[in-house]
Amino acid sequence: MELIEIDLKWRNSKQQQLDQIPKAETSIRKVSGEISYVDFFNEFMQPNIPCIFKSEIVDKWRSKTDWVDDRGKPNFDFLAKTFGDSVAPVANCSQQYFNAQKKDDMRVNKFIEYWKKYIQDGYPTSEQCLYLKDWHFSRNFPEYDAYKCPEIFSSDWLNEYWSAKGGDDYKFVYMGPKGSWTPLHVDVFTSFSWSANVCGQKRWILFPPGTEKKLKNKLGDLPNQRELSDDLLKEGIVADQFAGETIFVPSGWHHQVWNVEDTISINHNWLNGCCVRNSWLSLEQGLKSVEKELADCSDMDAWSEQCQLVLKAVAGIDFKEFLDFLLFIARQRIICLDGESPLSAGNTLLGKEHAYFDLSKIVDVLELFYKITPNPDCDNGLQLIKEVLGKYPSS
């Protein structure tokens, strides 16, 4: 495995935070050819800027060979025969459920039958449009090597942590006909995401952090409409992603996505030291919103604990689990710094400089955490990490 190290210049860089609104770009940069991890880190991940990679990452994947026919279209026969008995979540693009779409579980072969008929009928707009999404494919088919995570996305704390815990991941397959879409949203935990088109074409509109405030109505809800109005479009960046291309969606960028053609994509949500502060700020704001909603019950017993329960239901994580997540990642980085072997990240090795970077960012968030929820675990973790970092040069 190749060893990845990062340049010391990160110590003098300023991470783009949620409370800083970057200048809106007129287009998304498309990167041709190979890009090194260090260049991706410095040009896109650390400054929190979106991009699309045109390199032939997908062409090397088994999914490109098996899932796509000679015309570049989904290979329905193979998909139904090989994965048809699996159950996946399927969204009804015509039915709103809060700020998302209503989902029901469906066998993959039934969805394929629907999809083929939908094409034969000419993609009728009068009928409901279904979209198979958020399918934990790797969890359901662990022996099927559908793809390899690109090296530039290998520093992935989310899947590192939940893989160790067992039972969950943030790795998904999306399959949908032309016309299916995903409403405006920000990714879980205010994480990064990457999405690679195995076949088909997507159209994205992305909004820089902060601009989503202009999109919300008086109740604080984001618009839920298939075609965004011209006023909303002015605030965002529109980009087309073609077959074989991979998009990087930065932390805190709200986005809406349409399938321009019949499309299959592979997606990961992930976060690391470059965006963990954004994740914490978003979680902290989430708790404030919960406390505001439950303010009338603030005199009840265990009110704070109840707020954390609601926070976990809404955000997918509470303060206790977020702290456990940070301390788990910190322990792995301390092992890397104190030991002889590098840190494994999928098919890649992260070096000691990268471990130092990660720990320094964890310290930043733990200090913010401690101000809100002081507790011994957080304090002990902070002191240990600072002690370890103190053994290494700071510049």
Q: What is the mean pLDDT of residues 299-328?
A: 95
Three-state DSSP string of the chain: CEEECCCHHHHHCCCCCCCCCCCCCCCCEEECCCCCHHHHHHHHHCCCCCEEECCCCHHHCHHHHHHECCCCCECHHHHHHHHCCCEEEEEEEEEEECCEEEEEEEEHHHHHHHHHHHHHCCCCCCCCCEEEEEECHHHHCCCCCCCCCCHHHCCCHHHHHHHHHCCCCCEEEEEECCCCEEEEECCHHHCEEEEEEEECCEEEEEECCCCHHHHCCCCCCCCCCCCCCHHHHCCCEEEEECCCCEEEECCCCEEEEEECCCEEEEEEEECCCCCHHHHHHHHHHHHHHHHHHCHHHCCCCCHHHHHHHHHHHHHCCCHHHHHHHHHHHHHHHHHHHHCCCCEEECCEEECHHHHHHHHHHHHHHHHHHHHHCCCHHHHHHHHHHHHHHCCCCCC
Same domain, 166 and 48: yes
Whether 372 is in a domain gets the answer yes
- The residues near 192 (Cβ < 8 Å, ≥ 6 apart) are 45, 153, 248, 249, 250, 251, 269, 270, 271, 272, 274, 275
Last residue within a domain, chosen from 250, 270, 290: 270
Q: How far apart are CA 265 and CA 246, in angstroms?
A: 9
Same domain, 194 and 259: yes
Q: In this predicted structure, what is the pLDDT of residue 366? A: 98
pLDDT band with cut points at 50, 70 and 90 for residue 338: confident
Same domain, 258 and 363: no
Same domain, 265 and 319: no
Q: How far apart are CA 269 and CA 190, in angstroms?
A: 9
Same domain, 242 and 317: no
pLDDT band with cut points at 50, 70 and 90 for residue 348: confident
Whether 395 is in a domain gets the answer no
Q: What is the mean pLDDT of residues 370-381?
A: 95
Same domain, 100 and 228: yes
Whether 127 is in a domain gets the answer yes
Last residue within a domain, chosen from 270, 286, 310: 270
What pLDDT, in 10s, does the model give residues 50-87?
A: 999 987 789 899 999 999 999 999 999 999 999 999 99
Q: Which tokens hold the place of 98?
A: 């809060």
CA 257, 260, 262, 268 torsion-angle sign: negative
Q: In this predicted structure, what is the pLDDT of residue 184? A: 94
Q: In this predicted structure, what is the pLDDT of residue 135? A: 97
Residue 134 identity (one-letter amino acid): D
Same domain, 199 and 254: yes
Same domain, 247 and 332: no
pLDDT band with cut points at 50, 70 and 90 for residue 340: low
What pLDDT, in 10s, does the model give residues 218-232?
A: 888 888 888 888 887
Contact 269, 192 (CB under 8 A): yes
Q: In this predicted structure, what is the pLDDT of residue 309? A: 96
The answer on pLDDT for 354 being more than 50 is: yes
Q: What residue numbers bound the domain in which 359 lies?
A: 276-389
Last residue within a domain, chosen from 246, 270, 294: 270
The answer on pLDDT for 133 being more than 60 is: yes
pLDDT band with cut points at 50, 70 and 90 for residue 369: very high
Q: What is the mean pLDDT of residues 273-289?
A: 96
What pLDDT, in 10s, does the model give residues 7-29?
A: 545 444 445 444 444 444 457 99
Instruction: Please state the separation of Cα 368 from the chain's center in Å.
Output: 23
- The residues near 180 (Cβ < 8 Å, ≥ 6 apart) are 91, 93, 129, 130, 131, 258, 259
Looking at per-residue pLDDT, the higher value among 57 and 107 belongs to 107
Q: How far apart are CA 164 and CA 345, in angstroms?
A: 12
Same domain, 144 and 23: yes
Write the CATH number for 154.
Answer: 2.60.120.650
Whether 69 is in a domain gets the answer yes
Same domain, 130 and 244: yes
Looking at per-residue pLDDT, the higher value among 30 and 344 belongs to 30
Same domain, 330 and 249: no
Q: In this predicted structure, what is the pLDDT of residue 55? A: 75
For the chain, what's the residue count? 395
Looking at the structure of the chain, the number of domains it has is 2
Note the maximum CA span of the chain.
67
Whether 394 is in a domain gets the answer no
Contact 284, 372 (CB under 8 A): yes
Q: In the predicted model, what is the mean pLDDT of the chain?
A: 90
Same domain, 266 and 286: no
CA 104, 109, 110, 116 torsion-angle sign: positive
